[in-house]
Amino acid sequence: MAKLQTPPDTFAPNWLNQLDQRTGIAQAMRSRYAQFTNDLGGAESLSYAQRSLVERALWLEFWLQQQEVELAQGQAFDVGKWVQAANGLQGILSKLGLDRKAKDVPNLSEFLKARA
């Protein structure tokens, strides 16, 4: 199966892992995923449902940006779909929370004991 060069036109589960990691868009999306999950306390601390919502938020963010580029270039723009997607993204972000959460890390003595 060929790797995707860009996110799919319609959402598909696990789309992030299907991107060709050599492309700039894949690297940017991986970076965004890491930033997003780090803000929530780290991917390893998130539930499946939270990780699924992060993946959907990233896809919607990308889709919205593509629509805005098309609008700026004078191409067809469906404001209704854009508003619906923006509202969906807002709902996902609200559900996940907009505040950064501290990542749970051991203190220095616990870290050194674990390494020994």
* Nearest Cα residue to 102 out of 43, 42, 41: 41
* Nearest Cα residue to 56 out of 96, 5, 1, 102: 96
Query: Does residue 9 surpass a pLDDT of 90?
Result: no
Which residues contact residue 90 at a Cβ distance below 8 angstroms, ignoring those fewer than 6 apart? none
| Rg of the chain, C-alpha, whole Å | 17
Nearest 5°: CA angle at 34, between 33 and 37? 80
Average pLDDT, the chain: 90
Query: Does residue 87 surpass a pLDDT of 90?
Result: yes
Report the pLDDT averaged over residues 80-105. 88
Q: What are the extents of the domains in the chain?
A: 15-115
Report the pLDDT averaged over residues 10-17. 88
Predicted local distance difference test score (pLDDT) of residue 1: 64
Each residue's pLDDT tens digit, 100-112? 676 666 778 887 8
Predicted local distance difference test score (pLDDT) of residue 83: 97
Structure tokens of 6?
């860009």
Query: Does residue 69 surpass a pLDDT of 80?
Result: yes
